[in-house]
Structure 1
């Protein structure tokens, strides 16, 4: 079966996972266990760029992988179940790090929505679909912060009345009463997911085995959900044990 896989996608997913493990290990070290971070500061431009690379690559590759799934509906329901477990565990055991609509919630919602509107997405020309979704992602990137624009570029503010119902899952949170340690609402991130979906119709890498030096990354990339679900308990448990012993 590995000979039939698109090994480049597995390697890219594996690279994103390794980056995520390193980023979250440092986050736990600094912000959960209270050590000084030195250069690691989540508000610094360098760390922000690193974090954005991780989430952009995951979401884009998830959209691409949607087109390869034999049972996308089943996959979406499985990820939705894992997302619900993540919320229950964080709310119950780490309330200060509660996750209400993180990247797993987004992935599940994007897959299920894409299953629902698959006929419409198929009718869309791939090139136009990619261009329009990329533009929408850029324009709505800061909708959860209250304005249209990308990063620091503010095009126009949005009505505050839109945010009072606290539709955080959509991308319209009431920031006076909503917080989430990991937050990826449908707007703007669904558009990036669909960028990956349309990109898959325009470009496909070769099938086969990954080069020998990249096979560890490809192996990790083939088990993204399992690694994602286990990485924080393992990281947190390891750091807690290290502090308890040392």
Structure 2
């Protein structure tokens, strides 16, 4: 892991930069889905969920590695508290910003909140033997499997990860299990520092254009994190206002209908076909536009539910009599 002119480890900056790029890809895809410009189920599809989990895990592990490298000889309290205050303030800004953007779905305890608190929890383990960090990591990673309880339901205990939040959130990264990933990073750093691999990694260089770009992003990961999503969200929002009409309402209806249906009956393919059939029926009967104008109209709601029920029985039918 070559040290840069500032004493940073180049490989950590590079890996953090890769994680930043992956995060931007995920958020851009989420924005496209949110505005119904694409029909990707970014919030619910297993592949997208796995992608999001891998990104969050990489950041939390890197937090632990960085903590151990910075404090394993002695805890540098001044730099630690300066970094903690910056992350905590940034987390508060994210909560405030998303409250105005998303209302009740705002970020109550997202990845920055988790990084701040996890840093506090993991800091003492940088001065302990490796086995302590490993055991603590295993306990917290598995905590939701054996300690979850309805006692922790609601927003008061949302940070624990051991209950069910009262409201959904666009970003939710609780301490259990995610602090376990940070402690795993501490243990990983200790193992690497004591191995021959450390010296070999120090000799690596990342001087290509792409390597320098990723290292730069890794060094400035926090401001990029704070700025990239408002910029991407604003870009996609502008396209929806200024771009061509893409019949986003139809696409949004099919996406939301299919997600709700799949949650109820568990057959995603059937739900997609049934919701497409329902939309076709609404349009063929010329009640789609009236439904958009008066979504609470009981007669229109009743007919839509009738079409939906019939389509579940015959999802390949274009019109339902």
What TM-score range do you get, normalising by the shorter chain?
0.7 to 0.9
Displacement of 1:162 in angstroms is 4.0
From 107, 123, 129, the counterpart of 1:125: 129
Displacement of 1:79 in angstroms is 0.3
Determine if the alignment matches structure 1 residue 7 to structure 2 residue 15: no
From 25, 40, 65, the counterpart of 1:22: 25
Partner of residue 223, structure 2: 226
TM-score (norm 2): 0.64
Determine if the alignment matches structure 1 residue 206 to structure 2 residue 206: no
CA contact (8 A) 1:103 1:182 kept: yes
Please state whether the residue corresponding to 1:94 is helix, strand or coil. helix
Relative to its length, the structure with more helix (as a share) is 2
The CA deviation string for residues 113-133 of structure 1, in whole angstroms up to 9 with x for no partner, is 344xx2xx245321x134324
* Between 103-112 and 93-102, the greater mean CA deviation after superposition: 93-102
Please state whether the residue corresponding to 2:202 is helix, strand or coil. coil
Please state whether the residue corresponding to 2:240 is helix, strand or coil. helix
For structure 2, list consecutive stretches of 5 or more residues without a partner in the other structure.
71-75, 193-197, 244-321
The 1:49/1:159 distance shift into structure 2, 3 A limit, reads: closer
The CA deviation string for residues 167-212 of structure 1, in whole angstroms up to 9 with x for no partner, is 111223443x233211111111111111112222221441775231
Q: Which stretches of structure 1, 4 residues or more, deviate above 6 A after TM superposition?
A: none
CA contact (8 A) 2:137 2:181 kept: yes
Cα RMSD for the two superposed structures: 2.3
Partner of residue 163, structure 1: 153
> For the residues of structure 2 that align with 1:41 and 1:100, how far apart are their CA atoms?
20
> For the residues of structure 1 that align with 2:114 and 2:62, how far apart are their CA atoms?
13
Determine if the alignment matches structure 1 residue 79 to structure 2 residue 87: yes
CA contact (8 A) 1:73 1:112 kept: no
Determine if the alignment matches structure 1 residue 103 to structure 2 residue 111: yes
Partner of residue 185, structure 2: 196
Displacement of 1:42 in angstroms is 3.1
CA contact (8 A) 2:122 2:182 kept: no
Displacement of 1:103 in angstroms is 0.1
Please state whether the residue corresponding to 1:210 is helix, strand or coil. coil
Please state whether the residue corresponding to 1:67 is helix, strand or coil. helix
From 168, 173, 185, the counterpart of 1:179: 168
Partner of residue 35, structure 1: 37
CA contact (8 A) 2:153 2:163 kept: yes
> For the residues of structure 2 that align with 1:34 and 1:102, how far apart are their CA atoms?
24
CA contact (8 A) 2:99 2:106 kept: yes
The 1:234/1:124 distance shift into structure 2, 3 A limit, reads: same
The CA deviation string for residues 64-123 of structure 1, in whole angstroms up to 9 with x for no partner, is 1123445112101110000001101111232154000000001111223344xx2xx245
The 1:11/1:174 distance shift into structure 2, 3 A limit, reads: same
CA contact (8 A) 2:161 2:177 kept: yes
Partner of residue 61, structure 1: 62
Displacement of 1:237 in angstroms is 1.2
Aligned residues: 225
TM-score (norm 1): 0.82
Determine if the alignment matches structure 1 residue 89 to structure 2 residue 78: no
